[in-house]
Chain A
Amino acid sequence: MSAATDTALGLTESTSVGARIAKTVIYSLLFIVFAGPLLALLVSSFNHVSDPTQLSIIPRSPTLDNFKIAFDHGVLKYLANSFFVVGFGLLLQVAVSVLAGYALARKIFPGMTLVMVAILATMMLPEEILALPLTLVLADVPLVHLNLMGTLAGMIVPLGAWAFSILVMTEFMKDVPRELEEAARIDGAGEFRIFAQIVLPLCKPALGVIGVFGFTMIWDQYLLPLLVATNSDSYTLPLALRTLRIDPIVTPGVVMAASLLALLPSVTVFLFFQRSFARGLTAGALKG
């Protein structure tokens, strides 16, 4: 098969000087448009940027002052809050999803279809639309009568209900061979042991997908934390960016420094787990 038919455009085939220059220009432009603004953010967070017009990608007299001022405004505490929410939120989400996925993939029981449809239907409920009544539930959780408003727990607990992760786990667990389960059962393993020691260890790729996706989703959340955080003590870092910007003595350079801290975790996760990411992206889009 020739290179010309490897891709839709067959770009790799063209080796003339003109075509190569055109390709270089196009790819450079692409890089500048999509990565350029982020480079400007990176550079500006280490520059003295006292007004918005000084944002640039040319480093001038690098400094850590922006970060110092950001830390003085409690950015480290907000970062810690963010990590707390993402840590426990992800733990809860993954635990709930693997348990539910196990039941849906490996058991046959009356009402199974109904449960599956009910869970899948929530994928059509945009979180933002649900946020308003959700806060009323959080203010007085029925039966247990807890008020979770203003607490990090109020941002964490709703994260447990995430249909995408259950869907991915269910699909994957269906493929674990029955024979392994049978053998363990004959050897006297109980239900939970089969789940934890036979099925779950074979689902690492799916765990990667829901872990990476869960992380970026939770890290990106804005509206629900905004509603739940009734005082600045429970702000996550994305929420704090706005209050930082509104503060008249805070310069754009400081906002960019805080922004850099806010984007590093999710960008790092993406760069390290690109394969899981690509896999989940197509799974989510092509199924959901």
Chain B
Amino acid sequence: MKKISKNLIYLFYLILFGILIVVSYNSSKRKPDSVSELYTDFSWLINWPKWLDTPFMHWINKGWRGFIADYGLIFDAIGYGLLRGYTELKNVIVQAPWPIVILAVIGITYVISGRKLGTTIFVGFCTFFIGFLNPRFWDKAIETTTMVVIGIVICVIIGIPIGIAMSRSERVRNIILPILDTMQVIPAFCYLIPGIILFGLGAIPAIISIFIYACPPLIRLTDLGIRLVDKEIIEAAESFGASKKQKLWGVQIPLALPNIMQGINQCTMMALAMVVIASMIGTRGLGDEVLLGLQQLNVGAALEAGLAIVLLAIVLDRMTQAYGEKIQERTQPQNKKN
């Protein structure tokens, strides 16, 4: 049984290969006048034959145009919704007096880190120093943070359920894994360009890019975290008659939470990296300053902005890490022994 299905797959590959060769030969502009030339002149065996040129580009462009015409409106709607949320949130923070913003950051850190004074002071200092570097940076840092935060929220909303689905079904994992690989490996510019076409310039394509770039680690770590939960603990839950839902929410997710938090942390860091790249498609924020310094060959300006991004990264990293550690202590309280 198994052997037959495997052979069928090989046959399918062979047929696909054949079709591709025929199609690329036929569509090529530089194919030889007649097929018989291939039997007399064997030079195509030495250099890559010019007539072997699969017209992927044409296919994609054609499909893309059709796609935009049919579904462009949907993306407009998504883009508009996101833009609205982004602008509102950004305006609120930008218009708030800066001491209050810093105090809010300090307050949030204090609470989510489980009242760790050291972390709180460090984070407060870094936040203050971002504005201290250059007066322009304060508002820009807020723009960047807003983008990152919205990006992460989208990642969490979409990524964690996907991670859970992957952990529960081998088949789903086999389908999702290559997609994640593609998302992580494909160069950012390849999806920045279609992003512009779909959502226009500015913050929205940046947020979408953040999702594509930063979501995979979160999905992977969610999946891993749930699968790493001790099998005996799962069996224990099952043996008491826990339903799938009770098992998931009562046991698997709480025990996977430290890993999921690590995923969110990774997600944050990658989102920040993406925001800088996204400045190339007109996204404002701190990345914009880096780009400006680069274009003017102004080393100082670029480094200054770079430093601000590092500080922002430290702030976000400390905050998510501290929260993750707090959760870890709650689920695995080894340190508090007696």
A binds B: no
Interface residues of B (CB under 8 A from A): none
